[in-house]
Chain A
Amino acid sequence: MALLDQKNNNVSITVFILCCVHTIMTRKENGWQEHREDFQRIPELAINPLGDRIINAFFPEGEDQVNFRGFMRTLAHFRPIEDNEKSKDQNGPEPLNSRSNKLHFAFRLYDLDKDDKISRDELLQVLRMMVGVNISDEQLGSIADRTIQEADQDGDSAISFAEFVKVLEKVDVEQKMSIRFLH
C-alpha cells in the first residue's frame, strides 16, 4: 500500500499468493481451519508492522480459527477492481473488493476498540509499531496530533470513517490494496 518500487511488488505478490495457497493446502488435514500460527508464517505478514492486525482481521471475534469461507471472504478485499466490473455491477450487491470496502477494511486495521473512530492513542500505537524507538515519544505524540488535526473535520479529536475516506480520497486504494492472483 505504499510507494516502493514495482519490482518488489510483483515478486512479493506471487510470494504472498503462494504462501496463502500453500497455507490452504497444508491445512487440509485440519479440516480447513486456519490457525493464527499459519498466518504468522507468511513472511509478508510477519514483517508487516500491522501484521497482527491483518491476521486479526481474518478471525471472527474471540475465535482462534477461521474456516475457509471466512478466509476467502477476507482475502477478497485484496482483489483488484477490474474495469468491466466497475461498470457492470451498478445495481447488484456491492462486491467485497469495492473501494469503500477496501477502505473500510483498512480502517478497521487502525480502529482497535471498534468504536468506529481512530483515536489518538490508537494512532500512537500504530506509529510506535511503524517507527519503533527511533523517534522520541514526544515527537510521536506531535505527529499523532498533527495527523488528527489534519484529518479531523468535526472537532472530536478522532478520525471517523468518513474522515478517513476523505483523507484517502486521492490515494489509489483500488490498486494499492490489491493482489493479482490466478493469472
Chain B
Amino acid sequence: KEDKEEDESKEEDNGSQQNRASRRKNYQRRNGDGKKAREERSQKKGRGKTAPNKDQKESENKEKKTTKRGKEGENKQKKDRKNSISSSSNSSDEESLSEEELAMLKEQVEQKKKLISTMRNKPWRMVKKLSVLREAQDFVEKFEGALGKGKGKKLYAYKMMMAKKWVKFKRDFENFKTQCIPWEMKIKEVESHFGSSVASYFIFLRWMYGVNLVLFGLIFGLVIIPEVLMGMPYGSLPRKTVPRAEQATAMDFSVLWDFEGYIKYSALFYGYYNNQRTIGWLKYRLPMAYFMVGISVFGYSLMVVIRSMARNANESTTDGDDDNFIFSWKMFTSWDYLIGNPETADNKFASITTSFKESIVDEQESNKDENIHLRRFLRVLANVLIICCLCGSGYLIYFVVKRSQTFSKMQNVGWYERNEVEIVMSLLGMFCPPLFETIAALENYHPRIGLKWQLGRIFALFLGNLYTFLLALMDDVNEKLAEEDVVKNITHWTLLGHHNSSAGNDSTVTPPPLDPADVPRGPCWETTVGIEFVRLTVSDILVTYITILVGDFIRACFVRFVNYCWCWDLEAGFPSYAEFDISGNVLGLVFNQGMIWMGSFYAPGLVGINVLRLLTSMYFQCWAVMSSNVPHARVFKASKSNNFYMGLVLLILFLSLLPVAYTIMSLPPSFDCGPFSGKKRMYDVIQETIELDFPLFVAKIFSYVANPGLIIPAILLMVLTIYYLNAVSKAYQRANAELKKKMQMQREEEKNKRNNKASTNPMLQDLEDLLTPSTKTESPPKQAEDKKTESQNGTSPVGKPGRGEFLAGSPMAGGRGAAFTPPSQVFVTQPRTLGARAPHPGQPRPWGHPLGPVPGRGRGQPCYPRAAR
C-alpha cells in the first residue's frame, strides 16, 4: 500500500515540477466536467468508512500508475545506476544490496517529504489530503530512522529534521516572546476599556520596572551581596554596631519604622560599609565597586532613557504619513477575524468603541471654532491662578522646613512635629493636582495637550517640593559636618586613652579591645541622607496606596451600594466614580524615580524597596482601575511615542544627578563610616586604585586625560558635533514636512479635479480626455493608479513628473500595488456605477461595461466564486 502511495506522490511531483500550468488547466477541466461525478464519489466515500475508501484509492492509483509507468521506470533506473556507482566501492554483494534498499528508502522518504511540502497545492479533496498527509508523515517518521547508517544520509536527515524543528521553534519562540512581555494582557485589557492614554501610564510603569530591575541587579549584585558574603560581620566594627545607648530600643517597631536601630546599621545604608580596600578571598575592591556602581546607576539610566527616546522618535517619524485614512482603516480593518474567545471579543468591542471615541475627540478638536479672545483671556487667567498656587505651596514648604529646623533643636517633640514636612508635602501633592485640573477646565485645550500642561504644572509643583527638601537636607548635612569635627577629636582621644591605659596597666597581656558599641561616633551624614530618602519613599508609597484605596475603591463602593437608598443619583450626580488620574500617577512615578536616583548612592537598599513598590503598584493599580474607575468622559488617544514622559524622566534624572554629584565632588566623607572614610573626597578612591593596582603608564595616561587642556577641547568638539547633527536633522525635518505637504496638496487637488469632472464640468473633462487620450484608451484606467498615470503624463499638480510619481505612492506601497494588480484584471469589478456619474455618451469610455462578462475574465479568473461556480 505504501508503494502505491509513493507512486502517486511521485506522479504528482513530476507533474508539479514539469509543468504546473498544464496541470492546473487539467484540474480545472476536470473540475468543470467531472464535478458531479466526483461529488457523488465523495459522498459515497463519506458514507462508507475507511475500507472502501482505500479500495477506491487503490484503483485510482492503478490507473495513474499505468499512465505514468514509463517515467517512473526511468527514474528507478537512474536510481539504480547511482546506487551501483556509489556502492561499487563496497565489494560485497550483500552490502550493496542493502545499500540499494537504503537508497530506495531514502528516495521514498524524500518524496514523502516533498509530498508533504507540496500538499497544499494538490487538487485533492480535504479528506484525501489529510489521510495522505498522515500516512506520509507516518512513513517518514518510521523510516527516517532506518536511514541513519550512511554518514551523508544521516547528516541529511539530521539537517532536514533540524530545519523543520527550526521553523517550529521560531514560531513557538515568537509566541513565547509575546507571552513573555510581562503584563501584556493586563495592559491590553485596561487599554481596551480606558483608552490608550491610560494604557500609556501602565506601559510607562512597566518600562520603569524594567529599568529598576536592572539597577537593582547592579547594586545588589556588585555591592550588597559581596558585602554581606565577604565583608566583616555585624558587630565587628563600630560602624557595624548599634551604639550602646540605642541598643535597648533598637528592635522596637517604632524605631525600625523610622529606619533607625538595626536597620540603620545594616547593609542597606552607606554607613555600614567598611573602608578596607579589598574584602574576602576574592580581593574584591568594595569601595571602588561602590563608587563605580553609584556612577553606573546614573550612566545606565541616562543611556536607557535617551535610547528609548530616540527609538520613540524614530517610530513616530516612520509612520507619520499614515494619517490619511484613519477612519477608513478603523472601519475596515479593526476587527480581528481570528478572535474566538468571548472575553477577548468583549475586549475587542470595547477597544474598537474606545478608538472610535478617541478619533471623534480628535476630529471635533480639529474643527472647533469659538470666541478666541475669551479663550485667550481664560487661558491667561488660568495660568495666573496656577502660578499663585505654585508660589503659595512653595512658601508653605519653606515655612514648614524652617519650623522643622527649630523643632529638631528641641528635645521632646511629638510624632506630628517630626514628620510635619513629609505630611505637608504629601498633602500638597494630593490636593494641588485636582485643583490644577479644575483650573485647567477654563483653558479648554484638547485633552492631550491639556494633559501635557497639567503634567508640566504638577511637575513644577513637585520640583519646588523636592528642591526645598534638598535645601533643608543640605543645611542638615552642613550641621552634621560641623558636629563631626568635634566628635572626631573625641573619638581619637578616647581610643588613644584606651590604648594608653591598657598599655600602662599591663604591657604583657594584649589589651582587651574596646567594645565597638562603646566607641563614640560621628553623625555620619551620608546615612542620614539615605534614611531621609527611604523614609520619603516609603511614606510616598503609603500615601499613594491609601489614596487609591480611599479615593477610588471606597468611593466606588459607596457610590455603587449606597445608591439604592439615597436621595439623588450618586452615580450620575455628585460623587460619581473616579476617573483615572493619568497626570498625577505619571508624575508620582517620575518623582519617585528621582528620589530613587538621588537616594540610591547613600542607601543602596532603596532600589530594592522601589522594585517592590513598582511590582505591587502594577497589580494594585490595574485592579483599582478595572474595579473602581470609569473611563474619561473624553477618551483621547495618547501620542504614539510617550516621549513627553521620557522627557520628564530625563529632566528629573538630570536634576537628581546634580545634588549627588555635588555631594560626591565637594563634601568630605564622614571619617568613621562608609566605604570612603578616611579620604578627603569620595572620588579619591579612583586615584588610589589607579596608583596601586595599575601599571605606571596607565596612571600617566590618566593624568594626561584628566588634564583640562584636553577636556575642554573635547567638550568643544562634542558641542560642535551636536550642533552639526542638530542642523542636519532640522534640514531633514523640513524636507520631510515639505514632501508631506506636497503629498497632501496633490491628494486634495486630485479629489477636487475628480469632483469637478464628475459633477459640473463636462467641457473640462472632455478637454482632459483629449489631453490624455493615450492612457485612457489603451488600458482600462484603474482608479487606484490613476494618480500615477496622470502624474506621469505631466498633469500632476506638482509639476515635475519624476517627483510626482515619487510622491504618488511611497516606493513600498506603489511597488506592492503594482505587483499584485496587473491592471487589466483587477479593474473588472468597477463598471456600472461609473456609467452613472458621467452622463455624456460622446466621450470614449472603455470602462463603461455593464456588469457582465468582461474581457479580463476570460483569461481564467476563478477568483470570483459566484461567476466561477
Contacts and interface: CB of A to CB of B under 8 A. Distances in A.
A115 B178 contact: no
Most buried by B among A10, A47, A95: A47
B47 to A, nearest CB: 7
Given A12-B339, A72-B126, A134-B353, A92 B360 contact: no
Given A67-B39, A93-B24, A146-B363, A50 B862 contact: no
B442 interface: no
Interface in A1-55: 1-13, 15-16, 21, 24, 28-29, 31-32, 43-44, 47-50, 54
A4 B759 contact: no
B783 A131 contact: no
B338 A153 contact: no
Nearest to B38: A69
A143 B327 contact: yes
Given A93-B24, A130-B334, A167 B325 contact: yes
Contacts of A162: 782-784, 827, 830
Contacts, number: 252
A159 B425 CA distance: 59
Nearest to A82: B120
B341 A12 contact: yes
Nearest to A168: B332
A80 to B, nearest CB: 10
A5 B176 CA distance: 12
Contacts of B331: 123, 126-127, 143, 147
Interface string B297-336: 0000000000000000000000000101111111111111
Nearest to B750: A153
Contacts of B833: 115-117, 156, 158, 160
Name the interface size band of chain A. Answer: 35 or more
Nearest to A5: B178
A48 B335 contact: yes
A43 B340 contact: yes
Contacts of B866: 60-61
B815 to A, nearest CB: 11
Interface string B852-869: 000000011111111011
A130 B331 CA distance: 9
B349 A182 contact: no
Interface in B811-837: 812-813, 816-817, 819-821, 825-827, 829-834, 836-837
B160 interface: no
B838 to A, nearest CB: 9
A179 B340 CA distance: 14
Interface string B747-774: 0001100110111000000000000000
A165 interface: yes
Given A100-B820, A134-B353, A169-B813, A116 B750 contact: no
A73 B783 contact: no
Contacts of A61: 866
B221 interface: no
A104 B829 contact: yes
B326 A169 contact: no
A160 to B, nearest CB: 7
Contacts of A176: 333
Contacts of A7: 175, 178-179
A170 B340 contact: no
A140 B372 CA distance: 29
Nearest to A130: B352
B337 interface: yes
B339 A47 contact: yes
B175 A93 contact: no
A170 B810 CA distance: 10
Interface string A118-149: 00000100110011101100010011001100
A96 B863 contact: yes
B126 A147 contact: no
A101 B825 CA distance: 11
Contacts of A9: 336, 338
B119 A182 contact: yes
B187 to A, nearest CB: 10
A100 B175 CA distance: 29
B371 interface: no
A106 B827 CA distance: 16
A16 to B, nearest CB: 6
A69 B338 CA distance: 23
A61 to B, nearest CB: 7
Nearest to A153: B754
A68 B821 CA distance: 29
Interface in B696-748: none
A169 B340 contact: no
A164 to B, nearest CB: 8
A141 B778 CA distance: 40
Given A92-B21, A135-B357, A29 B826 contact: no
B825 A160 contact: no
B129 interface: yes
A7 B359 CA distance: 27
B39 A69 contact: yes
A2 B344 CA distance: 13
A48 to B, nearest CB: 6
A94 B178 contact: no
B287 to A, nearest CB: 47
Contact of B328 (A12, A16, A151): A151
B783 A93 contact: no
A131 B356 contact: yes
Contact of B865 (A31, A74, A98, A161): A74
Contacts of A168: 328-329, 332-333
Closest 9 A/B residue pairs (Cβ) = A162-B783, A99-B820, A155-B755, A28-B46, A93-B860, A12-B338, A47-B345, A147-B327, A2-B336
Interface of A: 1-13, 15-16, 21, 24, 28-29, 31-32, 43-44, 47-50, 54, 60-61, 67-70, 72-74, 79, 86, 88, 91-96, 98-101, 104, 106, 110, 115-117, 123, 126-127, 130-132, 134-135, 139, 142-143, 146-147, 150-156, 158-171, 176-177, 179, 182
26 contacts: A2-B348, A5-B178, A43-B340, A43-B341, A44-B339, A47-B345, A49-B335, A60-B866, A61-B866, A73-B869, A88-B20, A93-B859, A93-B862, A100-B863, A104-B864, A116-B829, A127-B331, A146-B327, A153-B783, A160-B830, A160-B834, A162-B830, A168-B329, A168-B333, A169-B813, A171-B329
Given A5-B185, A21-B126, 9 more contacts: A47-B342, A69-B31, A92-B21, A93-B860, A116-B831, A132-B353, A139-B360, A156-B833, A166-B783
